[in-house]
Amino acid sequence: MTVKEFATTLGLKNWTPDLDLDVPITGGYAGDMLSWVMGKAVAGSAWMTIMSNQNVVAVALMTDVACVVLTEGVEPDAALVTQANGRGVPLFTSDLSTYELSAWLGTALAAQ
Amino acid sequence: MAGDGVGCAVGMEYTYDFHLHSCLSPCASDDMTPQNIANMAALAGYDIIAVADHNTTLHARAVMEAADRAGIIAVPAMELTTQEEVHVLCLLPDLDAAEAFGAYVWDRLPDIPNRRDIFGAQMQVDSRDVPVREIGRLLISATNIGIYEVYDLIRSYGGTAMPCHVDRGSFSVISNLGFYDADMGFPAIELTEACDGEAFCRAHPSLQGLKHYVNSDAHSLEAIPDAKRRIVLSAPTAGAVIRAIEGKCL
């Protein structure tokens, strides 16, 4: 599954429309403690979080996740949107919960 | 200009900024060297400063030496990241305590390498800005020290501590935990310049009764404001600063 397919299927709002979204998603990570994410998230994952500040981009770059989804209706800070676009990190938001998104992704990846 | 209770010494007011970052913090400008900070702080009218880098006291000696030459006082300090990703300002009484505390924290900081292309460089320099080495381990990770442990820990080194920028939306005790608990034990909190402390504490009643300190959290030389905030001390020393924050006799 690609980032584009994930986003389209779940109706995620895209905050980085100019980025290439034909990037494969190979796993998922759900978590908000940036230090934990930094040490645990695996490259190629879709990262679900409620953290909305610009540090999210730094952690996404460091872990090389495929995309970031802010869940539960959280809106990104303006600085996060700027950083995500400038540094090429696909950023989405959704009203779905972290659990709902993760559960859907897990099922979809398992069915591939 | 008064003592803090019966039998306490009479003090004087000193200008302070207890929360500056040096070039050891990856997020700070490269020109935030100990010498530049000390000279800029002296020019801006400070009597006492503290450079509180993320999870390290490796610049304590250089900052104290540079401050001494600039004619101001430096309190050795650290901005500790707790397990909960809450930032806590830790102030130490002397260099030995700062270095021992720094070593304790280093052992509790995960061994994740810094990516300077993402976070910036972590340069250690001496008090005359000569590079010593670049620190390879990422200093801004969370330690495995829990927020309920911090106060007793810092007291065991003779220091004191206060949660940082509690009114900010990230890395603060309020933003990350949603509340402050008196059992955490801190004598004070740090607020940002923009915060209305009285209103903020009314909105968060658990903070009432704690002293407030406003620091710049400057990460660049131009972000160091002209000195304005004052603290009453019996003497311009790190020990007197810690006693004042602790609410003991000056």
Q: Residue A88 maps to which CATH number?
A: 3.40.1390.20
**Domain region containing A63:** 3-111
Q: Is the pLDDT of residue B4 over 50?
A: no
Q: Which residues are within 8 A (CB) of B239 and not within 5 positions of it... i.e. 6 or more apart?
A: B93, B94
Region A21-33: mean pLDDT is: 96
Q: Where are the domains of chain B?
A: 12-246
pLDDT tens by residue, B173-227: 998 888 899 999 999 999 999 999 989 999 999 998 899 999 999 999 999 999 9
For the domain covering B12-246, report its CATH number.
Answer: 3.20.20.140
Q: What is the CA radius of gyration of chain A?
A: 12
Note whether B85 contacts A35, CB cutoff 8 Å. yes
Note whether B110 contacts A39, CB cutoff 8 Å. yes
- Quote the strand ranges of A22-83, DSSP E: 27-30, 45-49, 67-70
Cβ atoms of B217 and B200 within 8 Å: the answer is no
pLDDT tens by residue, B131-174: 999 999 999 999 999 999 999 999 999 999 999 999 998 899 99
What mean pLDDT, rounded, does chain B reach?
A: 93
Residue of A nearest to B114 (CA): A62
pLDDT tens by residue, A36-75: 899 899 999 999 999 998 889 999 999 999 999 999 999 9
State how far the Cα of A9 lies from the Cα of B27, in Å rounded to an integer. 38
ipTM: 0.76
Cβ of B141 under 8 Å from any chain A Cβ? yes
Helix (H, G, I), strand (E, B) or coil at A32: coil
For testing contact with chain B, the best of A33, A35, A62, A64 (most B CBs within 10 A): A35
Note whether B110 contacts A35, CB cutoff 8 Å. yes
What mean pLDDT, rounded, does chain A reach?
A: 96
Which of B141, B169, B170 is nearest residue A35 as measured by Cβ atoms? B141
Number of domains in chain A: 1
Question: pTM of the entire structure?
Answer: 0.89
The strands making up A27-30's β-sheet, listed across from edge to edge, are A13-14, A91-93, A67-70, A45-49, A27-30
